[in-house]
Structure 1
Amino acid sequence: MRYSLASLIFVLSTTAAFAQLAARIATEAYVAPLRGPLLVTGTFGELRSDHYHAGLDFRASTSTPVYAVREGFVSRIIVSPGGYGQAIYVDHPDGYRSVYGHLETLVGELLDTVRAAQFAEESFRQDLKFDSLAFPVARGQRIGAVGNRGHSFGSHLHFELREILGDVPVNPLQFGFSIPDRRAPQIRSLRIYELDGRGHEITATTHKSGSKDTIFVRTPDVGVAVKAYDRQDAMPNWNGIYSATVFVDSVRQSGIEHARIPFGDTRYLNAQTDYREWQKETSWFHRLWALPRVPGLRGSAMNDGPALKLVTNRPTNVVIEVRDYAGNVTTEKATLVYRPGDEPEFTQPHQYFIPAGEESLIEREGFSLYFPENALYEDLYLRFTVLPDDSADRYSATYLVHDALTPLHGRAKISIRPTKPVPDGLRERVYLGRCDEKGQYHSHGGKWTEAGSLETTLGSFGDYALFLDTIPPTVRINSFPRNLNRYAGFSVLITDDVSGGGLAYRGTIDGKWIFLEYDEKNDKLTHNFSEGALRPGKHTFELELTDARGNTTNWKRKFTR
C-alpha cells in the first residue's frame, strides 16, 4: 500500500516518531537565503533597545543575491526610510512566512510593481499586499539582493521566519540552515539582587564570572541575572544567547529560551533585563526570575520562575546554564548564603505610589497623567516635580516625571494645559515634548482637548512641557553640483531641530514630481536620473519640506543636465 506524504504524517501522528519526522520534513524543505557560508552577525532573541531581535542577520556584500527559502508567494513588500528599508515577505504552504529585510534591490517584476505604485501615489513609502496568484516563487528562486537600507548600519540580510497565524517570529535556526558552531557561549558576569518581601530591588552587585564561589547576601529573597554572549565559528561578533537556566541544588528554578517571540510580547524585554543598567551603562543583563507583576506569557522569551528564597545561614548551590542553539553549554556556579543582621531597607523617596496592574490617575493643576493597568512591570514610587518656566519657546511649566531609568510597558497618557494664552495662529505649532539630559527636544505631538490641554501618550519617563516650534526644517547639499552632465543623480540632506514626528517632502523638476529615495538614518534624499526621462538642458529642482508641526521649507536649485 502506498501513502501520500499527508497520509503518512497522519498515521505517524500518534507515535513518538511524528515529531522527529515532521522536523526533518520541515528542515529539508528549506534552503538558505544566501549562497555560500552563512555569516551570522545577529541572532534571534538578541537584546535590542525596547525589543528582541526578530530574526538572524547575515553579513554579505551589497548586491549579493537573495533567494526564497521555500516555494510560496510574495505576500507583501514594504518600502520605508527606516525599519527594514526595503523588505519582501513570502508565505509558504507549511504555515510559515519568510521575511527578507534591508534589500538593496528587488527582482524585475517586483521592482516594477513597487515603482508603479510609488509614481502613481507620488510617494516613496509603500506597503503593498498581494494574493497567492500575483507573484508565486519557487524554492531557491532569486527575489532580490542584499543591501543597507532602512535602520541598518552595514550591508547585511535581515532574515526572519514567522508563523503566518498571528505573524509570530520564530527562531530560524530550527529550520536546519547550516551554520557551523562549536563555540560555547561566554558568561561575562553575574548580578545578584537583594529584594524585599514584595520583590522590590534594594541593592544589586555585579560579580565577574568565576571571581567568587560564595556570595553572602543580607536578604532571604534574591534575584540572579547573567551577562552572556555567543559566537558562531565563522564570525567574531558577540551575539545573543539561545537560553539561560537557573538550577538550585540541581533542581530547575527558572529560565529563558528564545524559540518564538510574539511581537506583542517583545517590549517585555524591559522586564526580562536590567533596564536601569542598560540605560546607565549600555550593559545587558538577563534577569533569570519573573517579576511578580508581570503576567506569564505563552511561548515567548520571558523567564518563568520566581526569585530565590534562601534559608538563614544555609548555603544554596546555584548553577546558571547558558546554551546556544547548537547545544554548546557554559555553566557558572555560585553558593549563596543569607546572613541576617544588617538587612538593607527598601527606601524610595516619592510623591505618588502607583501600583502595578491597576489603573491610576495623577491630577494636578494644569496637568494629568493616566496609567493603564498594563503600564508598569513593578509598583512605582513616583517622583514628581513642577518647575515654573517662562521661556519664550515654552507654554507651560516643566514637569519632571520620575526618571528615564524606569521602564514603561504600556503607554501612559499625559495632558498639559498652557500657563499662558496660545495665539490661534500658533496652536498647531505647539507640541508636548520631552527635553533630555543633553538639552535636545523630542516631540510627542499631541492633540488639543475641549478643556484646552494638549494630550498625547508617552513611552518613557522624563521632563515634559509644552514647546513652541516655529523653525522650519533645513536642506543642505550632499552631492549636487550645478553641472550634472556626468552624474547619475544628486542628493541633499534634510533635518529638523526637533526629533519625532518625521518629515514630509515632495520634490519636482521643472514642476513635475520626481522619485526621491529617503534614507532616514543618514537624513538623505537621493534622485537617480534613471528613474525618469529628463531632456538635456537647464532645469530647476524644487523641494517642499514640512515638519510634524506644519513648518515648511521651499528649496530650489538650478542645474544643467
Structure 2
Amino acid sequence: MKLNKNHLATAILALFTSLGAVAQTSPQAGYFLFPIKPGVRNYLSGTMGEIRSNHFHGGLDIKTDQREGLEVHAAADGYISRVKQSSYGYGNIIYITHPNGLVTTYAHLLEYNKPLADYMLQKQYEKQAFDLELFPEPGQFPVKRGDVIGLSGNTGGSGGPHLHFEIRDEKDRLYNPLKYKFTEVIDTTPPDIFSIGITPLNIHARVNNAFDRSEFRTKEVGNNYSLTDTVFAHGLLGLELQTIDQLDGAANKNGTQEVTLLVNGQQIYQHYIDQVPFELSRQVSQHINYNQYKRNGRTFQKAFIDYGNDLPLYKADERSGRMVVQPDSVYQVKLIARDSYNNTSTLSFVVKGQRPKFTQTAAKAVKKPSIDYEIIGNVLKISATDTAQTPQNIELYVNNQALMLVPSYMKNSTSVSLYDLRAGLPDSMRFCGLSKNFGIEKAVPPNKDFLFTNRYLKVLFDKQSLYDTLYLQTKLEGDVYTIGDYFTPLHKAIKVTITPPAEVKDKSKAAVYFLGTGRGRGFEGGKWEGNSITFTTKNMGKFKVMEDTKPPVIRPVVKNSSVISFKISDDLSGINSFNAWVDGKWVLMKYEHKKALIWSEKIDKSVPLSGEVILKVKDNAGNEATYTGRI
C-alpha cells in the first residue's frame, strides 16, 4: 500500500501522539545528542534557571568558539514542527518534535540547512516579509538524530555567538537539558553563596530590632558558608539568597537550579527550577527581589513563595516558607544550594529571637527637623529626625481624622513609626511644624479587574496585572505622567488613557513613550480618540506623549549585482518596516538590528540584480524614508 503525503503526515503524527504519552519524567542519559560538536567537550555560557530581566533563562547557551557557522545537529529523531525568523528574541529558530512528546529548540541560528532554508525563503517571498513563523506538517521535514539542521549564529536578541538550546514538552514547559547527562559538559564546581537578605514581612517583625530588609555577607570555608554574626530577629521573616553556579573551565555566572531552606532540621522551603511553564516565566519577578534587581542589578532569589507567584517550582510548609521567630528562641538555619550535577554548598547561621524594644538614642548633633516615608508591603514606614532629646509622635491624618503615631524604635538618631495601610489610607502627616502629603490614591487589589480614574488619567488593571496589593500613587508634572514606580513589577499589561495637557500638533506622529530611569525612550504606541490616547504597557513609572516627525535614516553600504545592503536607523520611535524593489520586483531584505544592517537575499541566485533600486523604510510613527539608485 502506498501512502501519499497527507497519509504519511497523518501516520507520523498519530505515531508521535501515541508515543507522546510516555514523555520522559525520568530522563534517559544519552537519549538526546549534544547539538554542538557532539562527543567533544563543550562549554556553556548560560544554564537553566538563570534570572533574566523578565524571565527565567529557559535552556542552555552553548559556546561556539566565539564565532558563527558551527554545525548544529538534531538532538534526536523527529520532525521540524515550527520555524521562525526574526531580528529580535530567538532570531532564527528551529523546533523539532520527537517521538517521546518532547520538543527541542535551536535558536540564534546563522542559517537553516536545505531544504528548510529554501522553504523559508520561498514563503518569505510569497508573503513579502522578513519576519515569518511557519508550522510545517509532520512529514514535511523529518530529521534523524545527528542531522545537521543549520549553522550557529548570533541572530535575534543574542549578545554574542552561541546556540541557545531548549527542551520543552507538549504543554510548553521548559525542561533543564542538563538532566539528560550530556558528557560534553563537565561540572565539579559547587555553587557560590554570596549574601542573604532577611526581610520583615509584617508590621510586628524585626531584623536586628529594625523594620528593615537587612543583607549579610557570607564567609566561605570550603563548600560551606557561614555568617560572621548571629542574627537577632522577631516575627514573620522572608529569607533571600544570592547565589550563582559556575561550570568547570568557564567564568560565566550561571543559574543555581535548587535551593532548600531548613530551620532546626526541618525543611520549610525548596525550589527546583525545571519544567517551567513558558507562559508563567515572567513571574520570575516574584521569585526574586524585584526591587533590588532593578535598583542595583543584584539577584536575590526568595526562599519563600511570595503572593501572586503561581510557578510550580516549589515545595513549602503551610507558611509558604516564611520563617516565624519567637522571642527567647534559637533557630539553626541552613540554606542549601545545589546545581544540576548535584554539587552542593551550604550556608549555616543562627537566628536568635529577640522581642522588639524601644531604645532611645540621643541626637549626635543638632539637626533640623525632617520627615520622610516609604511603603514596604502593607506597611507605611515613617522616619523622622528632630533636635529634641525625646522623639515626638507623628500626626497621621486618615479621612481627615488625626491619629497619633508613636515611634516604634530609633536608629541612628532617627525615630521610626509604623502604620498598617490596611487600616485606612492616610492623607498626610505632620511633625514638628512640617507636613507632607502621601498621595496614595487607591489600594488596588490583585486578582480582579479594577478601573482607576482621576482628573488626568484612567488605568484599567487586569485581574492578572498585579502580584499583590498596590498602593497607587500617580502624578502629572508638566507633560510627564507617573503611574506607580519603576520598581513595581507587573505580570499582565495595564491599559492607560491620558489626555496631554498641551495641544498635540500632529496626532498621527504622536505616541506614548516610557521614560524609564535613564535617557532611553521606549515606544509604547497608543490609539487616539479625540484629544486622549490609550495605550497598554507592562511597565510602571514615567510616561510622556512625544511627536516623532523625523523619518528614518538610510545609508547605502553595498550595491552590486549580487547583493544590496544598507544601514538603517531611527532616532525615536524605532524601525517598523522596510521593503526593497529592484527593477520593479520585490527583494527580500534581512535585518540585524544589533548592527542596524539590512541586506538582500535573492530567491534565484542565478539572476543578477540590475536596474532601479528603491528602498522604503518606515518607523513606528509612520514616517517613511525612501532611497533610490541604480545597479
SS at 2:116 equivalent? helix
Partner of 2:380: none
| CA distance 1:327–1:93, shift in 2 (3 Å) | same
Matches within 5 A, 1:56-95: 56-60=60-64, 61-95=67-101
Question: Cα offset for 1:522?
Answer: 2.3
2:174 is aligned with 1:172: no
SS at 1:264 equivalent? helix
SS at 2:227 equivalent? coil
2:308 to 294, 313, 317: 294
| CA distance 1:223–1:31, shift in 2 (3 Å) | same
CA–CA separation in structure 2 for the residues paired with 1:229 and 1:420: 50
2:458 is aligned with 1:368: yes
CA–CA separation in structure 1 for the residues paired with 2:444 and 2:457: 17
**In the alignment, is the contact (CA less than 8 A) between 2:286 and 2:309 conserved in 1?**
no
CA–CA separation in structure 1 for the residues paired with 2:191 and 2:128: 49
1:32 to 27, 31, 34: 34
Aligned length: 521
Question: Cα offset for 1:406?
Answer: 1.4
1:261 to 268, 273, 276: 276
Which deviations, in whole Å up to 9, do the C-alpha atoms of 1:186-229 show, x marking residues without a partner?
Answer: 11111121232599995222211127344434541211111111
2:440 to 336, 351, 370: 351
Partner of 2:572: 498
**In the alignment, is the contact (CA less than 8 A) between 1:287 and 1:303 conserved in 2?**
no
SS at 1:460 equivalent? coil
| CA distance 1:129–1:346, shift in 2 (3 Å) | farther
CA–CA separation in structure 2 for the residues paired with 1:361 and 1:404: 20
Partner of 1:162: 168
Partner of 2:545: 466
Partner of 1:447: 527
Question: Cα offset for 1:410?
Answer: 1.6
CA–CA separation in structure 1 for the residues paired with 2:153 and 2:228: 48
Matches within 5 A, 1:195-344: 195-197=201-203, 202-210=211-219, 212-217=227-232, 219-291=234-306, 293-298=307-312, 300=313, 305-339=320-354, 340-342=356-358
Partner of 2:123: 117
2:54 to 45, 50, 61: 50
CA–CA separation in structure 2 for the residues paired with 1:532 and 1:199: 71
Question: Cα offset for 1:301?
Answer: 6.5
**In the alignment, is the contact (CA less than 8 A) between 2:206 and 2:212 conserved in 1?**
no
CA–CA separation in structure 2 for the residues paired with 1:545 and 1:303: 54
Partner of 1:394: none
SS at 1:444 equivalent? strand
Partner of 2:395: none
2:546 is aligned with 1:544: no
**In the alignment, is the contact (CA less than 8 A) between 2:206 and 2:234 conserved in 1?**
no
CA–CA separation in structure 2 for the residues paired with 1:176 and 1:241: 17
2:487 is aligned with 1:417: no
CA–CA separation in structure 2 for the residues paired with 1:200 and 1:124: 57
Paired AA for residue 60 in structure 2: L
Question: Cα offset for 1:511?
Answer: 2.9
CA–CA separation in structure 1 for the residues paired with 2:590 and 2:114: 18
**In the alignment, is the contact (CA less than 8 A) between 1:515 and 1:531 conserved in 2?**
no
2:200 to 168, 174, 194: 194
Which deviations, in whole Å up to 9, do the C-alpha atoms of 1:100-132 show, x marking residues without a partner?
Answer: 111112111011111111122221111111111
Work out which of the two has the higher radius of gyration on C-alpha atoms and give 1 or 2. 2
Partner of 1:405: 487
SS at 2:35 equivalent? coil
| CA distance 1:159–1:262, shift in 2 (3 Å) | same
2:214 is aligned with 1:135: no
Which deviations, in whole Å up to 9, do the C-alpha atoms of 1:16-54 show, x marking residues without a partner?
Answer: xx99x9846x43432211222231111111110100111
Higher relative contact order (CA 8 A, sep 6+): 1
| CA distance 1:23–1:406, shift in 2 (3 Å) | closer
SS at 1:267 equivalent? helix
Partner of 1:379: 469
Partner of 2:386: none
| CA distance 1:208–1:431, shift in 2 (3 Å) | same
CA–CA separation in structure 1 for the residues paired with 2:617 and 2:465: 36
CA–CA separation in structure 2 for the residues paired with 1:541 and 1:346: 69
2:595 is aligned with 1:522: yes
2:626 is aligned with 1:554: yes
SS at 1:322 equivalent? strand
CA–CA separation in structure 2 for the residues paired with 1:438 and 1:236: 30
**In the alignment, is the contact (CA less than 8 A) between 2:580 and 2:587 conserved in 1?**
yes
Give the fraction of aligned pairs with identical amino acids, expressed as a percent: 25
Paired AA for residue 188 in structure 2: R
Question: Cα offset for 1:432?
Answer: 2.1
Question: Cα offset for 1:533?
Answer: 4.7
| CA distance 1:531–1:474, shift in 2 (3 Å) | farther
SS at 2:84 equivalent? strand
CA–CA separation in structure 2 for the residues paired with 1:303 and 1:104: 44
CA–CA separation in structure 2 for the residues paired with 1:361 and 1:89: 41
CA–CA separation in structure 1 for the residues paired with 2:314 and 2:570: 38
Partner of 1:8: none
Partner of 2:536: 457
**In the alignment, is the contact (CA less than 8 A) between 1:514 and 1:532 conserved in 2?**
no
CA–CA separation in structure 1 for the residues paired with 2:175 and 2:314: 11
Paired AA for residue 229 in structure 1: I
TM-score scaled by structure 1?
A: 0.86
Question: Cα offset for 1:443?
Answer: 1.8
Partner of 1:6: none
Paired AA for residue 593 in structure 2: E
CA–CA separation in structure 2 for the residues paired with 1:462 and 1:506: 35
Paired AA for residue 495 in structure 2: K
Matches within 5 A, 1:480-491: 480=558, 484=560, 489-491=563-565
Question: Cα offset for 1:442?
Answer: 1.9
**282-291 vs 352-361, which moves further:** 352-361
Which deviations, in whole Å up to 9, do the C-alpha atoms of 1:415-469 show, x marking residues without a partner?
Answer: 112435556xx332221222233333222111234x7521121111111232222
| CA distance 1:199–1:306, shift in 2 (3 Å) | farther
Paired AA for residue 29 in structure 2: T
SS at 2:588 equivalent? coil
CA–CA separation in structure 2 for the residues paired with 1:108 and 1:264: 32
SS at 1:108 equivalent? coil
**In the alignment, is the contact (CA less than 8 A) between 1:261 and 1:301 conserved in 2?**
no
Which deviations, in whole Å up to 9, do the C-alpha atoms of 1:271-329 show, x marking residues without a partner?
Answer: 111111111111111111112x325433x469772321101132211110000011110
1:103 to 98, 102, 109: 109
Paired AA for residue 170 in structure 1: Y
| CA distance 1:33–1:200, shift in 2 (3 Å) | farther
**In the alignment, is the contact (CA less than 8 A) between 2:244 and 2:255 conserved in 1?**
yes
| CA distance 1:555–1:209, shift in 2 (3 Å) | same
| CA distance 1:186–1:303, shift in 2 (3 Å) | farther
Stretches of structure 2 that go unaligned for 5 or more consecutive residues are 1-20, 220-225, 359-408, 410-415, 422-437
CA–CA separation in structure 2 for the residues paired with 1:22 and 1:364: 52
CA–CA separation in structure 1 for the residues paired with 2:439 and 2:270: 33
